[in-house]
Each structure stands twice: as C-alpha cells, then as structure tokens.
Structure 1
C-alpha cells in the first residue's frame, strides 16, 4: 500500500491521536485547525469557547453499554482501547511530560440504570472484564456518603492535565515530521480546494461545521480550583444533574463540575452555578477543606465550554466525495473525546488504509 499525504482537521484529542497514528503508519500528515493547544495561562476561555478540549475534566469513566443502543457498545470498546493506551503511556518515561496520573476513581449514583445494576449480578462479563483491567468493584452501602446513594463503584482511573497532554501530543507529532496549518475552514470539502496535494481528509472537527443536523452543542460550566484532590469522584443525582471532581496533575489544580445544558449558547459563567458546583463538591468530598473543615477553596477560573454532541452517538465512518476524494469522519463525541480518543484513532487509521487498499485494487 502506497503512503499518502493526509489532512486531519482539528487539534483536539481525536484529531491529534488520529494524526499521530497515521504518521506512525508511514503517511505524511498535516493538521489544519483554527485553535491549537497552548498553556492555560495564555488562553481566554471565551475566545476559544468552541475549542473545549484544553478545559476538559479529562478522566476515565466506564459507562456500561446498553444492549439496545449500539453506539454505547462501540464506545465501551473504544474506552477499553484508550484505557490500555493511557496505562502504557503512564508506565513509560513520558508520564510527566504527558501530564497523566492514575488514581482511584469513585462513582455514586442516586438512580442507577438497569445497565449499572446488572454489574452487581454474579458473573457479569462486563464486571469481570473491568475487574481484570482496573480492579473495578461494586461498593457496599457502608461506603456511600449519604442515604440518597443507591449504587457505587471504585476502580483505578486516569486523569489528564489536558493542556499538558495535548501539547505533548502536538510536540510528538511535530517532532516525528508532522506539519501544521492554522486556518479556519467552513466545511471538510474545502480542504480539497487548498492545493495541498491530498484526496484524503480526516474530519475531527467536533461539530462537522454545523452541517450535520444530528449534532448539537451541550454547554458545560466548570470551576478550576487550585487545590489538588487525590481521587476523581462523580456523583449522578436523581434529578439528572451531577457533580464531579477531576484532579489535573502537575500543578494543574482540580476541575469541579458540572452542567449539561443542551443548546445553551451563553458564553458567560454564572456565579450562582459556581457556588452550587463548589457546594456539591465539598459535600461529596469534605476532606478537601482540611482537618478542621474550614479551609476555603481557591478559585482560579470559571470555565464555559461547548461540547459537540450527536444524537445517535458519534459519527465514525468514511465518505467518498465524488471527483474529489475521501473523508473519514470522526466527530460528535460530547464530553468523551479524551476517554475514547485512541480507540477512535485506530478506527480512523483502519478506515483510511481500507480506502487506500480499495483504491489500489481499483474498487473505489
């Protein structure tokens, strides 16, 4: 199979991971993006509100798949691939420069779905799989913080300092010979008119430029505090709201969240929401306030981001553009871009190379 010049649109976790895998497969790769990773001290969250990756609460949660919802089964498989990749990275000499830590992950649910409850049944294959992978275990009620909690679990999770991690991926990509082009596009097909010598595009744009009616934005508001937390905790409340804490290692503080507001385009942080988020976090993990419980959290920044979400799950598939070339789509991951990234990157690589093999055989 001949090696080709491939354009990747987007410099979030999906775009960067896909670009690296394609580069490592011997292809020439250029990333085109409007926004690239940078130190958080230099970024204005409002000006980059659509580039949410640097501000993400980037950690791993295993969401049990539903037999009746195909995309949840795929996402579970992708999360396993990504977890193993992150584990290998953590065990390598690059863990610090990658901004990755492994630490206990705890989840509390007030109204667990049937998929979560099924994990408590004897010999559940998903539970056995996760136990072998990360020591996943169901918590007994004595470990619940209050009587509202009906189900809980604990396992070894990873947390990322996303600005460190994304910059690490970008540096590796550039060091290995990848090229960068800072440009704002209007649609994936625009790449074919840029005279870059390619007929293959990876569309990791997040939203697909508003061209997919199934894509919508989910506004999320979080708070970055200075204090570090030795555990990542998620609580799902009965009313559909949730609280989470995601430590960002290497002096990155802790992200506290969060909100999920469908099609809310507001750019400004709500200070009342901030108070509610901090209160929920302290109730979930009171040890953060010190031995006497009187320490005050140091707020570094309020963050608002727009997560690109898609009805029916993310789109990961190839599309032949008659007379122009091939687009491998990989977008619409909502808040799960980091935890699915390396599994998606493998699908992107396989999709691109499958197209190339078919083209060489004269079938495309």
Structure 2
C-alpha cells in the first residue's frame, strides 16, 4: 500500500482530533509535532484553559453550524461510553436579559440565545423554561443537555488514542510551515502533507502569517464548589467585554467561573479585580455555589488566563501548496474549539485525503 506521510503542527484539540481521525484510516504515517503538548500551561496554548463544553454560537445554515452539528454525536458517544475520556453530561441553562440586546456578548451569543436555535434538534431535552422559574432580571431562558469536558483528562486521552493507532509525537518549533516537511521531522523522510493546526500562532507562522487571527483573552476562576449545572447569561452590568458563565468539569476537574472576551489582548496574567467581579457574578447567578453566602466561601483551585484563537471569518479549513508542499489548514475556532472539533477535523481529513491523491497522481 502507498504509505502517506503526514505532519500535524499543533497539539491542541484541533491538532489532536485531526490526528486521531486520520489515524483511524489505513495507510497513513502521522507525526504530531508541536511546541506545546498536553500537560503544558502556556498563554500561546489555548486548549488546556477551555471550559470546555458544547454551547453552539455558530449561525444557522453555515459551514460552522455543520461542523458543530457533526461534533455533537462523537461527544455524546464519549460521555455515554468512554468515562476515561473525561467528558460528562450536564444540564445547560441559557439565560437572557432584555437589556443586553445589542451588547457585544449578546451579539456573540445570538444563536445560543435564540428561543429556537438550529441545535435545538441536535442536543437532547431542549426546552424553554417557564418565566416564573427565572431569577430576578432574567427575561427568558432555555435549557438542554450538554457536555462538559475536563481538559486535563481529555487532551491526554486524545494523545493516548493517537499513540494506540501508531501516531508519533515530538517537540518542535517551526519558523515556517514548510520546515515541517524538512528532513528529520518525519521518520519516513519525505512528507506528503503538512497540517497546520497552530491556533493563535497561525498569525506568526512563516508561510501563513494570517493577520486576521487575533487573541480574545479569557479569564477564569476554577473552584472546588459544585454548581450542579452549566449556566450562561446574555451579558453583565460590568461592561461589554465581560461575560458570566459557570460549568463543572467532569471527573473532579472543578467548576469554571468566567469570564471575559477581550479581543486583541495578549495579557497573560490574571487581573485580580476582574477575578472578584467574575466570582461575584457567579455567586449571584448560582447561589448554590456557596449556599447563598459570599465569594469568601468559594474554595479556589487557581486563576487562569487563556487566549482564544479568533479568526475573522471563522475557522479556516483549506488546502494550498506552499513551497511545493501540500498544506491543509485547520485553525481559528476562537472559543468554539471543542464544540466544533470533530466536524472540523473530519473536514480537514477530507482535504488531507484529496491532497494525498494529488501527491500519488504526481508519482
């Protein structure tokens, strides 16, 4: 069989999911080469910091919505059948305040806040909550069964599944995307396709340098307190760039309190004043966190900052020849990296197979 040699740059959720789906196909020898690996915590490496969950914000009838739709099935399967992956089911409530209409957060969450979003027919148990059950200031709300992912378990699980399928992992930093095809990177020598899953670093990678990719800074507080469910609200009274959401990670991963969406900010250190606002909003929205008491009753594990790799125009899934090598891109998912991961990875694998057919035709 004609063996196809592939190098995937990047070991975030996009790179690992792409490598996993490709490794399930016969005839591929895959190397994941990355600066950061699961277990690392670095501001350039967004995946460990994510919540992470399934809460689609993609607009209906778009490629992005299709990628999100195609991701629900695999995540549901993991939650049902593979507890070792660190994914569990969790009720997700979406709260809307009429006064947030037109705000940055409400625009970002427009589809999510809809009383009849496209994903209502995808996720289980979607319904509208009765008005009398809502807290003060909340004008409407929906609820559905979602999943929440413990990234500290899930990312290593993806690596383990790749290793089981023969994928090789190595540390590498590439100044240019074509350097991933250079001698010594792949054990078989020649490289047929390079897959670019560099996230935010696609803005700096030579040969790509996509300046439409910018950070959207997120700050979270991780606590031991259990919220019991996932909640998100359409906005806050603390400014356009701030948000309020709560989710409890699977398998003892703690509860995430967030957050913010600070477009263009590379600041890596937590802002203590923002942390206080995040905690106050969370305790007000979910009194069960502290049994109705104040933020001093939150048991903090750590503060975190992650940079979502936001791309103008959304995720880039495309193939092109760069310096004679086929390069397939999968980057720019912003804050949706987990909830579109399988859909995007499958679309990427389809392009890798196209590129490999072209390589074979040239031989």
TM-score over 0.5 for the pair: yes
1:254/1:180 CA distance change after superposition, 3 Å: same
Structure 1 residues 77-86 or 229-238, which shifts more?
229-238
Structure 1 residues 339-348 or 286-295, which shifts more?
286-295
**Is 1:10 aligned with 2:18?**
no
SS at match of 1:258: strand
1:151/1:175 CA distance change after superposition, 3 Å: same
Aligned to 2:306: 305
Looking at structure 1, the residues matched to 290 and 113 of structure 2 have their Cα atoms a distance apart, in angstroms, of 35
Aligned to 1:349: 349
Offset of residue 277 of structure 1 = 0.3
Looking at structure 1, the residues matched to 152 and 25 of structure 2 have their Cα atoms a distance apart, in angstroms, of 26
Q: How does 1:1-364 map to 2 (within 5 A)?
A: 2-26=2-26, 27-38=28-39, 45=41, 48-63=42-57, 65=59, 73-92=62-81, 94-95=82-83, 97-110=84-97, 111=100, 116=111, 119-120=114-115, 126-127=117-118, 130-131=120-121, 133-147=123-137, 149-195=138-184, 196=186, 197-207=190-200, 208-210=202-204, 211-237=209-235, 240=240, 241-290=242-291, 296-322=297-323, 324-361=324-361
Specify every segment of 5 or more residues in structure 2 that has no aligned partner in the other structure, as ranges: none
Offset of residue 291 of structure 1 = 6.5
Structure 1 residues 260-269 or 353-362, which shifts more?
353-362
SS at match of 1:304: strand
Q: Contact conserved, 2:203 with 2:214, CA < 8 A, in 1?
A: no
Q: Contact conserved, 1:55 with 1:163, CA < 8 A, in 2?
A: no
Query: How many positions carry a matched residue from both structures?
Result: 342
Query: Cα RMSD (Å) of the superposition?
Result: 2.3
Looking at structure 1, the residues matched to 227 and 51 of structure 2 have their Cα atoms a distance apart, in angstroms, of 13
SS at match of 2:334: coil
Looking at structure 1, the residues matched to 58 and 312 of structure 2 have their Cα atoms a distance apart, in angstroms, of 18
Offset of residue 316 of structure 1 = 0.7
SS at match of 1:252: coil
SS at match of 1:265: coil
Offset of residue 270 of structure 1 = 1.0
SS at match of 1:134: coil
Looking at structure 2, the residues matched to 306 and 132 of structure 1 have their Cα atoms a distance apart, in angstroms, of 29
Looking at structure 1, the residues matched to 114 and 260 of structure 2 have their Cα atoms a distance apart, in angstroms, of 27
Q: Contact conserved, 1:106 with 1:153, CA < 8 A, in 2?
A: yes
Looking at structure 2, the residues matched to 303 and 292 of structure 1 have their Cα atoms a distance apart, in angstroms, of 23
Per-residue displacement from partner, 1:188-238 (whole Å, max 9, x unpaired)?
A: 211122343212011000021421111111111111111222211111216
Q: TM-score, normalised by structure 2?
A: 0.87
Specify every segment of 5 or more residues in structure 1 that has no aligned partner in the other structure, as ranges: 68-72
Q: Contact conserved, 1:131 with 1:137, CA < 8 A, in 2?
A: no
1:299/1:7 CA distance change after superposition, 3 Å: same
Q: Contact conserved, 1:229 with 1:288, CA < 8 A, in 2?
A: yes
Per-residue displacement from partner, 1:219-261 (whole Å, max 9, x unpaired)?
A: 1111111122221111121653311112112111111111111
Looking at structure 1, the residues matched to 94 and 317 of structure 2 have their Cα atoms a distance apart, in angstroms, of 29
Looking at structure 1, the residues matched to 318 and 234 of structure 2 have their Cα atoms a distance apart, in angstroms, of 32
Q: TM-score, normalised by structure 1?
A: 0.87
Offset of residue 133 of structure 1 = 3.4
Q: Contact conserved, 2:131 with 2:139, CA < 8 A, in 1?
A: yes
Looking at structure 2, the residues matched to 16 and 142 of structure 1 have their Cα atoms a distance apart, in angstroms, of 44
Q: Contact conserved, 2:53 with 2:148, CA < 8 A, in 1?
A: yes
Looking at structure 2, the residues matched to 294 and 303 of structure 1 have their Cα atoms a distance apart, in angstroms, of 17
Looking at structure 1, the residues matched to 246 and 141 of structure 2 have their Cα atoms a distance apart, in angstroms, of 16
